[in-house]
Structure 1
Amino acid sequence: MTQTRSDTQTSSLDSDKIPAHVWRTAAVVVFGAVMGMLDTSLVNIGLHTIGADLGASLATIQWVASGYLLALGVSLTVCGWLARRVGVTRLWMGALIAFTVASTACAFAPTASWLIALRILQGLAAGLMIPAGQTILGQAAGPQRMGRVMGVVGIAVVGAPAIGPTIGGLMLAHWSWEWLFLINIPFGLVGLAAGLRYLPRTGGVPVQRLDVLGLVLAGGGVSAIVYGLSEVGSTGSFGSLSVWLPLVLGVPGLGAFVVRALREARPLLDIRLFANRGFRAATTACFFAGGAMFGLMVLLPLYFQVLHGTGIIRTGLDLLAYGLGGIIMLPLGGRLTDRFGGGRVAVIGNLAIALTVLPLAFLPVDVNGLVVQLLLFAAGLATAVGAMPLVSSAYAAVRHEQLPDATALVNILQRVGGALAVALVAVILSRATASGWAPVTGYHVAFGGLAALSLAASAASTVLRGHQRG
Structure 2
Amino acid sequence: MTDRTTESVPATGADEPAVATAAAERGLDATVLKIAGVIVIGAIMSILDVTVVSVALPTFAAEFRTTYASVAWTMTGYTLALASVIPLTGWAADRFGTKRLYLTALVLFVAGSMLCSVAWDITSLIVFRVLQGFGGGMLMPLGMTILTRAAGPDRIGRVMAVLGVPMLLGPIAGPILGGWLIDAASWHWIFLINVPIGIVALVAAWTVLPKDAPQPSQSFDVVGMLLLSPGLALFLFGVSSIPETGTVLSARVLVSAVVGLALVAAFVVHALRTEHPLIDLRLFRNRSLSVAVVAMSLFAIAFFGAGLIFPSYFLQVRGETTLAAGLLLAPQGLGAMVSMPIAGNLADRIGPGRIVITGMALVTAGMAVFTQVGPSTSYVILLGGLFVMGLGLGATMMPIMTAALQTLDDASVARGSTLMNIIQQSAGSVGTAVISVVLTNQLLDRAAAGPAMAAQSDPEIAAALPPGAVEAGLAQAADAFGSTFLVATIIVAFTFVPAFLLPRRKVTPTAGAGAAPTLLH
TM-score interval, smaller chain? over 0.9
Quote the residue 2:289 is aligned against. 279
Q: Deviations over 1:121-177 (max 9, x none)?
A: 111111111111111011111121011111011011012211111111111111111
Residue 449 of structure 1, aligned match among 484, 487, 506? 487
Q: Distance in 2 between matches of 1:225 and 1:10?
A: 42
Contact 2:144 2:417 in 1 (8 A): yes
* Residue identity matched to 1:307: V
Shift of 1:10: 12
- Please report the TM-score for the alignment, with normalisation by the length of structure 1: 0.94
Q: Deviations over 1:186-227 (max 9, x none)?
A: 221111111112111103112444333311210111112222
Whole-angstrom CA distance in 2 between matches of 1:10 and 1:130: 27
Q: One-letter code of the match for 2:364?
A: A
SS of 2:502's equivalent in the other structure is: helix
- How do 1:56-455 residues align onto structure 2 when only pairs under 5 Å count? 56-436=66-446, 438-455=476-493
Cα deviation for residue 13 of structure 1 reads 5.8
User: Matched residues in 2 for 1:224 and 1:250: separation?
Assistant: 5
Aligned sequence identity (%): 32
**Which segment drifts farther, 250-259 or 319-328?**
319-328
Letter in 2 for 1:450: A
CA drift at 1:446: 1.7
**CA–CA separation in structure 2 for the residues paired with 1:207 and 1:266:** 10
> Which digits, 9 at most, give the CA deviation of each residue in 1:16-49, with x for residues without a partner?
3322101111111001110011011111211221
CA distance in structure 2 between the aligned counterparts of 1:452 and 1:341, rounded to whole angstroms: 26
Matched position secondary structure for 1:464: coil
> Which of 501, 505, 510 is matched with 1:463 structurally?
501
Q: Which amino acid aligns with 1:147?
A: G
AA matched with 1:303: Y
Q: Which has the larger radius of gyration?
A: 2
Q: What amino acid is the match of 2:501?
A: V
CA distance in 2 between counterparts of 1:103 and 1:258 reads 34
Whether the 8 Å CA contact 1:279–1:394 is kept in 2: the answer is yes
Give the residue type in structure 1 aligned to 2:132. Answer: Q
Q: Is the 8 A contact 1:350 1:387 kept in 2?
A: no
Deviation at 1:281, TM superposition (A): 1.0
* Separation (CA, whole Å) in 1 of partners of 2:176 and 2:399: 28
Decide whether aligned partners of structure 1 residues 12 and 170 sit closer, same or farther in structure 2, where only a CA change above 3 A counts.
same
Instruction: Give the deviation of 1:352 after TM superposition.
Output: 1.4
Q: CA deviation at 1:64?
A: 1.6
Partner in structure 1 of residue 469 of structure 2: none
1:466 Cα deviation from its structure 2 partner: 5.7
Match of 2:457 in 1: none
The whole-number CA distance in structure 2 between the counterparts of 1:406 and 1:13 is 22
Structure 2: how far apart are the matches of 1:432 and 1:384?
30
Would you say the 8 A contact 1:163–1:319 is kept in 2? no
One-letter identity of the residue aligned with 1:109: A
2:306·2:435 contact (CA, 8 Å) conserved in 1?
Answer: no
RMSD: 2.0
Inter-CA distance 228–14: structure 2 relative to 1 (3 Å threshold): closer
Structure 2 residue matching 1:465: 3-state secondary structure: coil
User: SS at the partner of 2:377?
Assistant: coil
CA-to-partner distance for each residue in 1:99-141, whole Å, 9 max, x for gaps? 1111112111223222222111111111111111111011111
Which residue identity does 1:399 align to in structure 2?
Answer: D
Counterpart Cα distance in 2 of 1:171 and 1:164: 11
If the length of structure 2 is used for normalisation, what is the TM-score? 0.85
Contact 1:72 1:223 in 2 (8 A): no
Task: Quote the Cα distance in structure 2 between the aligned partners of 1:284 and 1:10.
Answer: 28
Could you tell me which runs of 5 or more consecutive residues in structure 2 were left unpaired when the two chains were aligned. Answer: 1-14, 448-475, 508-518
Whether the aligned pair in 1 keeps the contact of 2:352 and 2:504 (CA below 8 Å) is: no
Segments of 5+ residues of structure 1 without an aligned counterpart are none
SS of the equivalent of 2:327 reads helix
1:463 match: secondary structure: coil
C-alpha contact 1:291 1:420 (8 A) present in aligned 2: yes
